[in-house]
Structure formats: structure tokens, C-alpha cells
Amino acid sequence: MKHEKRHKLQLFYEILCAIEDGSVNPKVAKPTYIQHSSRLSYDKLMNHINQLEQKGMIYRHKQDNGAITITKKGNMFITQYRELMNLIESAGL
């Protein structure tokens, strides 16, 4: 089954949602869970994780086996992405 290619913003959203949804603690998740949830290869996931960290949307805990937390900026991205998708759907685009 062929999957439609996803845009970088959609991938960022899916990764951030995986962190939000797959957390034992509030908004903290392990890279393996994020990888499975977002359906990305490890190399591609780590590339996106590095970009999200550089943009200040996530924080990687070095001492906690690489656990990842969403920052305030990451939460704002999730909210704004959802609002944009709702606007697009309501406009019938």
C-alpha cells in the first residue's frame, strides 16, 4: 500500500502529537514510541527531531535515555496547526 508523501509541517505535527499522546509523564515520550507512532525511519525521525530541537519546539533530556518533551513553542505549533486544518476543512479546500 502506497502512502501519500507528507509535508514537513505535517511530519512536525505528527511527531509533536506522538510526544503529547504517548507520554507516561505529561508530554514526555521516548524516541522509539515517536518513531512507531509517526511511521518514520529512525534516520528521518532523528533529522526531524534535530530540526524541532533547533526551532525550540522540543527539549531532549540527555540524562533520561533521550526522553523528549514538548516546549511552549511546540504546544503553540500544535494549536495553530489544528486551527489551520479546521479552517481549511471548513472552507472545503
pLDDT digits (tens, 9 = 90+) for 29-49: 888 889 999 999 999 999 999
| pTM score of the predicted model | 0.86
- pLDDT tens-digit readout, 18-31: 998 865 566 678 88
Domains in the chain, start-ordered, CATH in brackets? 8-87 (1.10.10.10)
Nearest alpha-carbon partner for 81 in 46, 52, 54, 40: 52
Cell 501519500 found at: 4
The residue ranking higher by pLDDT, 71 or 1, is: 71
Phi (first) and psi of residue 90, to 5 degrees: -70, -25
Amino acid at 13: Y
